A and B are shown apart, each in its own frame.
Chain A
Amino acid sequence: MSNEAAVAETTEAPKSAGAVEAPAGVSAETAEFTFELSSTEVIFPLDESIYPRDAIFGAAYLFIDRCYVFLTRPADGQVGVRLRPKGERSEAILEALAGEFANELLNQLLRTRIAESTTKIREFYMQRAFFENTPSHSTIDALLAELDEEELADDPLEISVPWEEDPSA
């Protein structure tokens, strides 16, 4: 995947900013993950053509309990993410948060793609579970058919006696 924000080596970009470089051989233009650090928060832009809205929301949702998350629209096709920890705040914690968020984005992206690629098969299974004969249905149907046959069967020994009539008559 060319858009992987690989967390390999962190290089200090200008003060209060960080960047995670692309692995060797991968275009930095597509793989670089940059973020700005301040004393209380970390901010980074995400390209919506790489990370769809579902993935961004999925990752943000998982950070809401420990961070204040605010999303902005810095440019067309970009979503800005601002993370501000609720607890202790330090440069190391903020950098780690940015990395965790990037990893979670990839996780969410993968989940979305798997969900999309397995939609048909999940629908198929659901359809089969609800609308086709299952073994238990077949058994019930067979028992009902057997009862019907018994009721309609002949009585060659004349054992069955209609209850409406008096047998002594």
Chain B
Amino acid sequence: MPDPSTASQLDFSADIYSPVAVERAVAVFGDLAKFTVSHGEAAVSVTWTEPDADVADVLADELANYALNETILLHRAPSTTLR
């Protein structure tokens, strides 16, 4: 199990993942760890510490899945939708 005090990071490629989708994923998972999001030119980086012990093992994978799901839904949405 990851050390709660150690920061974990996931870099989402900015031209694949929608920044809005990543932000939404972080908002949904916000209660499960302390997150910070930084928007770079090539990637949106999500860093977190103190993950909930019950979900620490799968937090990164679930977060990535949620972000991808939201990205795909936004990609398919009408062009007027915020991406």
Contacts and interface: CB of A to CB of B under 8 A. Distances in A.
Given A53-B75, A57-B72, A57-B75, A69 B16 contact: no
Contacts, number: 36
A69 B68 contact: yes
Contact of B64 (A61, A68, A73): A68
Contact of A69 (B13, B58, B64): B64
B3 interface: no
B52 interface: no
Interface in A27-59: 53-54, 57
A54 B71 CA distance: 12
A70 B15 contact: no
A156 to B, nearest CB: 62
A64 B68 contact: yes
Contacts of B13: 71-73
Interface residues of A, number: 14
Q: Max chain A CB contacts within 10 Å: which of B15, B69, B71, B72?
A: B72
Contacts of B76: 57
Contact of B68 (A53, A54, A70, A73): A70
Given A53-B75, A57-B75, A68-B61, A79 B68 contact: no
Interface residues of B, number: 16
Contact of B65 (A54, A68, A72, A73): A68
A79 B71 CA distance: 15
B62 A73 contact: no
B48 interface: no
B31 to A, nearest CB: 20
Interface in B28-73: 42, 58, 61-62, 64-65, 68-69, 71-72
Contacts of B61: 68, 70, 84
Given A71-B17, A79-B16, A64 B62 contact: no
Contacts of A69: 64-65, 68
A54 B72 CA distance: 9
Given A57-B75, A73-B16, 4 more contacts: A61-B72, A64-B65, A70-B61, A71-B68
Interface of B: 13, 15-17, 42, 58, 61-62, 64-65, 68-69, 71-72, 75-76
Interface of A: 53-54, 57, 60-61, 64, 68-73, 79, 84
